[in-house]
Structure 1
Amino acid sequence: MASVAAGVCLGLGTAALWLATTTPNPYGAVANAQLTKVFAASWTLVFGPIGLLILTRRAGNRIGWVALALGFIFAFNSITSDFSTLSGGPASDVGLTLELVGNVGWLMWVLLLGWFLLLFPTGHLPSHRWRPLAWGLAVWAPLYMAAAVLAPQSMSAGAPTPNRYITISGALGEFLNIVLTVLNVLVLPVIIGPLIAAIVRFRHSRGAERQQLKWLAYWAGLTACALVVSVVAPNPATILIANLSILGLPITVAIAIFRYRLYDIDVLIKRTLVYGATSAAVAVSFFLGLVALQAALRPLTSGSEFAVAASTLFSFALFQPIRRRVQDEVNRRFDRSRYNATRTVDAFADVLRDEVDLDELRADLIGSVQQTMAPAHTSLWLRERIS
């Protein structure tokens, strides 16, 4: 069954990718929209194999089925969008119908993403208390689909424009408008609920499960940053990075579930924090130095080459001191045990330079070992010198 589903996903993904590269962009001259459309079609080619791999190696983990379903939905929406464009778009009946089918498909994406957050990484809910939310998602999505298609008002909540799709008028239509309004109000808990479940699971997790959730949180943080940058400064490079970061989700899930180099995530997080904060601090110092030097040198020189060169040298000189300071702060906040151990060893090294009494050195050494390694028992044996 899983192999058949994965084969269907790969077939649909291949067709979606071919259509995305050959079909005109439905958004006209919107910058970088074609690149995003191609990446959206290719998501299926990544989610499908990862889902099959999870179901093959971890048969009881429902995340595999969620990954396959996500791949199917991505391909389905991409294909319907391209066929809608080829059929004349909303101006034709066929194009309007295909657009409706694609819009309904995106609601399934919200449902599956919510289930993913509820089930990751074990494939089971964090506890039985979250079962009503899982069932609520399953009920909310089809109800929203039906109300959005049939209600007289637009699919956008509260929009005054009439629904372009099939509508029901009269008392039943007014009732559907009320239902759609209520379902739109429930969008926020539908989105936030699974996020809270993932946070609660992380707070109560230990060992390998906690590391698995760290991988997901790391991916989410990087992707959020990439998406913000692509919105603030849209260009082919930022759009490419944002789409590549989204493609990292199934890869991150595979690393977490199969526990491949699972504990390397702590090193990745710390290095990202250190070099990210250091780069930001150096960039701020560069621009502040550039502005200050240009203002100071404007009466003396009309060019800014000297100011740029001086700011560059100043920022370069600051890099290592800032990196060390940031790394110490990150270790102090996120790796307290290692930070304390390093401080203890440094303090003992200072004692070695000045202390000459053997009994005092023995006591200091035993104290340092107890603070850094916390053994159940500590003893020190020194061989007496034979005269």
Structure 2
Amino acid sequence: MASLVFLVIGVLIFWRLWGTSHELLGLLTSFIFITIALTGITGVFEGESVSPNPFLQVAFTISSISFFVLFPCLAAFLLTFPNGRFAPRWSWLFILLWLGQFAFFIVADTGIFGSASYSLLAGVVLVTWGSTLSIQVYRYARVYTYSERQQTKWLVFGLTLGLLLTAGSTIIGNLLPQLSRPDSPYQLLMNNLGGLIIFLPLSLSIGIALLRYRLWNIDIIINRTLVYGTLTVVLTAVYVGLIIGLQALLRGVISQDNGVAIVISTLAIAALFQPLRSRIQKIIDRRFYRRKYDAARTLAAFSATLRDEVNLDQLREELVVAVQETMQPSHVSLWLRPTEPDRGQQENWISTPAAHTKEGIL
């Protein structure tokens, strides 16, 4: 299933970006996606007879050939995403590190390094991925525009979510051994849909970053993910702790301690949900979105001043300060349109200069 998702998204990226300014990046991305998809498809039928099926024969051939160029293509994708250009220009040299990593994988499989293979493997992977990450950090801080930063956030969001899902599934399997049994529903789910659940966020995030990143604000999605992810973990811990504690307290009081503990814990979670969500939202805004948090506080203070202030000059100063603190422009100027005089004052103002002119002529 995960291979089919990669195949569909790869074809879609190739179709939508062909003939645009991001044509090379789209071709590179679609090649990586289709290669991963074909590798997964051929892995399912590995060891079986494929002669009756010409599609599988072609898939096996393309997969075996394209796998050797997958690593340099992946390096080029990570070094040029999302604008398809190498910046700095010499950053293409890091592709050589990926070729060296691929060569090391092949040599290490022969067992020539012995017990030191794992240490050397960790060092090679750390140098390769660390150098690529450093280039992306430099590009994000010095090269990218606002739109390109949003696209990069989509990629990081999908990659992080995939890693968290992988770590979560591993931790759950180790903490609850009964779920690791081959006949358990959890194990059956992971065997059938585990790859789709783990790789779907990454493939979708890359597709959205290249095709539809303007339709969704990634900052809001990241913010909500942090808030509700933290809220889920905290409420789960509170719920389990309440059940264990209440069962221990009610065991000697009433006989049906389990049902009562579950009911009380559920009511407590329902009562804690909204205030805890608001508290976590404020903490995350203050910690990760400081500018947004300060701007909201400044606007709230200005709204309170606007309701009470009657002095126009003081209100003008407060407005300028609010704009400076929220938007932080390089320069702020405020122009107030003067009030128009009434009809009688305007006629007096026009007639007075005429009288003076007449007196001067006389």
Asked if Structure 1 and Structure 2 have the same fold, meaning a TM-score greater than 0.5 normalized by the shorter chain, the answer is yes
Equivalent residue for 1:48, pick from 2, 7, 11: 11
Compared CA separation, residues 158 and 207, structure 1 to 2 (3 A): same
Does the CA contact (< 8 Å) of 2:91 and 2:135 recur in 1? Answer: yes
Amino acid at match of 1:211: Q
Q: Report the AA paired with residue 378 of structure 1.
A: L
Retained in 1: the 8 A contact 2:151–2:213? no
Picking from 128, 139, 153, the partner of 1:214 is 153
User: Which amino acid in structure 2 is aligned with residue 197 of structure 1?
Assistant: I
Contact 2:7 2:34 survives alignment (8 Å): yes
Structure 2 counterparts to residues 233-248 of structure 1, below 5 A: 233=172, 235=186, 236-237=188-189, 240=193, 243-248=196-201
RMSD of Structure 2 on Structure 1 (CA): 3.9
**Aligned with 1:330 (options 284, 296, 300):** 284
Alpha-carbon distance in 2 for matches of 1:314, 1:80: 49
Distance in 2 between the 1:356 and 1:143 partners? Answer: 74
Does the 8 A contact of 1:256 with 1:262 survive in 2? no
From the superposition, tell whether residues 181 and 227 of structure 1 become closer, same or farther in structure 2 (CA, over 3 Å). Answer: closer
Is the Cα contact below 8 Å between 1:214 and 1:265 reproduced in 2? yes
* 2:131 alignment partner AA: G
Residues 183 and 228 from structure 1, CA distance in 2 versus in 1: closer, same or farther, beyond 3 angstroms?
Answer: closer
Q: Cα 1:245–1:132, aligned 2, differ >3 Å: closer, same or farther?
A: same
Question: Unaligned stretches of 5+ in structure 1?
Answer: 1-37, 88-98, 161-177
Q: How many residues align?
A: 315
Does the C-alpha gap of structure 1 residues 385 and 228 become closer, same or farther in structure 2, counting only changes over 3 Å? farther
Selected match of 1:376 from 332, 335, 358: 332
Larger C-alpha radius of gyration, 1 or 2?
2
Counterpart among 276, 297, 300 of residue 346 in structure 1: 300
Amino acid at match of 1:269: I
Q: 1:96-107 maps to which residues of 2 (within 5 A)? A: none
- Equivalent residue runs for 1:49-128 within 5 Å: 49-58=12-21, 60-76=23-39, 78-79=41-42, 82-86=45-49, 108-128=69-89
Q: Could you tell me whether the CA contact under 8 Å between 2:35 and 2:63 is conserved in 1? A: no
**Alpha carbons of structure 1 residues 53 and 301: separation in structure 2 relative to 1, 3 Å:** same
| Structure 2 residue matching 1:50: 3-state secondary structure | helix
Change (3 A) 1:65 1:52: farther
What does residue range 280-359 of structure 1 map to in structure 2 within 5 Å? 280-302=233-255, 303-351=257-305
**2:162–2:199: 8 Å Cα contact kept in structure 1?**
yes
1:282 maps to amino acid? L
Q: What does the per-residue CA deviation read over 1:7-44, in whole Å, with 9 as the maximum and x for residues that have no partner? A: xxxxxxxxxxxxxxxxxxxxxxxxxxxxxxx4336533
Instruction: Give the superposition deviation at 1:380.
Output: 4.8
Distance 1:363 1:42 in 2: 56
Letter in 2 for 1:40: S
Deviations along 1:320-353, whole A, 9 cap, x unmatched? 1111112122222333333222212322344456
Residue 265 (structure 1) shift: 0.9
Q: For structure 2, which runs of at least 5 residues remain unmatched after alignment? A: 51-59, 174-185, 343-362
Task: Show the counterpart of 1:194.
Answer: 132
Aligned to 1:168: none
What CA distance in whole angstroms lies between the structure 2 residues aligned with 1:251 and 1:316?
Answer: 33
Residue 183 of structure 1, CA deviation? 7.5
State the percentage of identical aligned residues.
28
In structure 1, distance between residues paired with 2:151 and 2:303:
38
How far apart are the structure 2 equivalents of 1:137 and 1:249? 21
Q: Give, in whole Å, the separation in 2 of the partners of 1:202 and 1:112.
A: 21
Helix, strand or coil at the partner of 1:328:
helix
- Specify the alignment match of 1:266 in structure 2: 219
Residues 76 and 102, structure 1, Cα contact 8 Å, conserved in 2: yes
Take 1:226 and 1:183, find their aligned partners in 2: how far apart are those partners?
Answer: 24
